[in-house]
Amino acid sequence: MKTKILLIALGTCLLAACASSPGTQIHEDMVANTDPYKIGVTGLSISDFLGIGMNLKSADMIFAPRTNTVVMEFKVQGNTTRLHFSRRDRDLLLAAITSYLESFEERILKDDGKQERVYGTCKSLMEWGLLTVNAKATAKVHVGYEFKKDSPYFILTVPEVDNDRYNKGSVVKRSGYFQLFFTRSQLAEFGEMLIQEYLESTLEEQNISRASSDPDMY
């Protein structure tokens, strides 16, 4: 039932852009001038130190209204890691989630080991660190699915990437390879927190105004 509700929401969610007043120095997709805040937690499994296996974990989901970005924060390979999903990233992810859930319902998923990037790739900001989150890079996040012991999982695969801050406050050269795995139930939970309409509804729950404070142009 939850899967069907998510599919309906994905098909009807509004992705209207937020326009800014002339001359203002703000992000083009800002929805409110307020600090990031936690909107929920999603369950998932994460690969281990070698980039293999599956370990049941959870990730904090954070909304950053000034950039209209969803930040997914979790622990992997000893690091606190944050993936930043822009509006464009979320559009790709939501389309992928819809396609995956429909294929699951129709039983047409392929168990051939070649589907880990079948839905495309996001280029997402990633930050990570052991004690301090001081490494940063633009990561390629491959979107697809994979079978594990006859059960399919929606997966996000993040290959190694060079650290843009190496020798500039960070001694880490590269990130490690890892994968994130979602069951259908976990995917419904994760997907809901990517929907623009849902994100904007959390502003009301936080008692945050979306009205612009920019001076009126006359």
Per-position DSSP letters for 133-187, written without gaps between them: --EEEEEEEEEEEEEETTEEEEEEEE---B-TTBTTTB---BPPPEEEEE-HHHH
**What percentage of residues in the chain have a pLDDT greater than 70?**
86
Spell out the domain ranges in the chain. Answer: 2-12+31-202
| Contact between residue 62 and residue 71 where contact means Cβ atoms under 8 Å apart | yes
| 99-122: b (≥16 Cβ within 10 Å) or e | ebbebbeeeebeeeeebeebbebb
pLDDT band at 15 (very low <50, low <70, confident <90, very high): very low
Q: Phi then psi for 189, rounded to 5 degrees?
A: -65, -45
* H or E element at residue 43: strand 37-46
pLDDT of 12: 46
pLDDT of 52: 85
| Contact between residue 38 and residue 61 where contact means Cβ atoms under 8 Å apart | yes
Q: Given a cut of 60, is residue 58 above it in pLDDT?
A: yes
Mean pLDDT, all residues of the chain: 88
pLDDT band at 6 (very low <50, low <70, confident <90, very high): low
pLDDT band at 208 (very low <50, low <70, confident <90, very high): confident
pLDDT of 49: 83
pLDDT of 191: 98
pLDDT band at 204 (very low <50, low <70, confident <90, very high): confident
pLDDT of 140: 98
pLDDT band at 169 (very low <50, low <70, confident <90, very high): confident
Q: Given a cut of 70, is residue 36 above it in pLDDT?
A: yes
Rounded CA separation 142/96 (Å): 11
**What percentage of residues in the chain have a pLDDT greater than 90?**
76
Rounded to the nearest 10 degrees, the angle between the axes of helix 2-12 and helix 184-192 is 40
Taking residues 172-189, what's their average pLDDT? 96
pTM comes to 0.84
pLDDT of 9: 58
Taking residues 178-188, what's their average pLDDT? 97
Rounded CA separation 189/70 (Å): 14
Q: Given a cut of 90, is residue 5 above it in pLDDT?
A: no
Cβ atoms < 10 Å from Cβ of 195:
21
